[in-house]
Amino acid sequence: MRFFNVSAPDAASRVETPALDALNARRGQLQELVYETQKAQRALYAQYGDLILKQQPDKSLEERDIEQRRLARIRRLAGDDSCQLPSDKTRYEQMPGSAGQYWSLIEQEKDLAAAIEILDRKISDEKERASAAVCAQMHDHHRDLVRAMARAMADLHVELLAYWRFAEAMNRKGLNWGALRAAYPHFCGSPEKLPGAEIRRWFAALVADGHITKDEVPEALR
């Protein structure tokens, strides 16, 4: 027989944020692509470093056209499926051999970083929207959880006082009761101080935050 009941339903499983989940998943995919791109860059540079540095990108293409094509790639990477990918090659892809591959990877990493910035802004906006929706959805459930904890904590305080009184009685008699393996719950307040002080502060915070009323706090904890 298990002492603790761990079969309580998981309320978090009822929280659905599909749009936010999709954005986070896409960001994770792009971050993986960044790592792969950087790894490929290092491998090329380790093998063809001197050759790569001697073959700089061709700047003959119109810069405006280059930027328009780049913005199209970034928007597509960030999840804009309506954006048409440019059909022509970038100036880096027009370069032959390892140098072309290397500079193309450099540009790809920049595109990915820019796309991630766009996604981060979308994620931030969606987080605000989803947070408001979930808080409204889970308001009553959260209140019930807090009030259930308050009831359990009030019962716990009664047991804490009983334990502290037992310990004080043993200590007053000067008994060595270490063999019993003392089990002070120090996270609830030190037994050398006012018993239940931390619990009192917790209940005061519940009242201040409007979870319970002052009259609902057990008299011993006011």
- Provide the 8-state DSSP code for 215: G
Task: Look at residue 181 in the predicted model and tell me its pLDDT.
Answer: 92
Nearest to 17 by CA among 135, 143, 141, 144: 135
Determine the residue type at 4. Answer: F
pLDDT at 122 over 90: yes
Mean pLDDT to the nearest integer, 79-103:
65
Distance CA 220, CA 29 (A): 55
Task: Give percent of the chain with pLDDT exceeding 70.
Answer: 78
Nearest to 199 by CA among 189, 191, 190, 209: 189
Structure tokens at 2: 């298990």
Please report, for the chain, the start and end positions of each structural domain, with discontinuous segments joined by +. 15-131, 139-221
Task: Look at residue 70 in the predicted model and tell me its pLDDT.
Answer: 75
Structure tokens at 18: 């599909």
Mean pLDDT to the nearest integer, 45-71:
69
Mean pLDDT to the nearest integer, 88-95:
56
* Length of the chain in terms of residues written: 222
Task: Give percent of the chain with pLDDT exceeding 90.
Answer: 35
Task: Look at residue 149 in the predicted model and tell me its pLDDT.
Answer: 92
Distance CA 37, CA 20 (A): 26
pLDDT digits (tens, 9 = 90+) for 141-156: 899 999 999 999 888 8
| Interacting residues of 190 by C-beta distance below 8 A, sequence separation 6+ | 184
1 vs 157: which has the higher pLDDT: 157
Lowest mean pLDDT among 13-17, 26-30, 113-117, 132-136: 13-17
pLDDT at 88 over 60: no
Structure tokens at 4: 């603790």
pLDDT at 66 over 50: yes
Predicted confidence band at 6 (pLDDT cuts at 50, 70, 90)?
very low
pLDDT digits (tens, 9 = 90+) for 193-220: 565 678 888 999 999 999 999 998 888 7
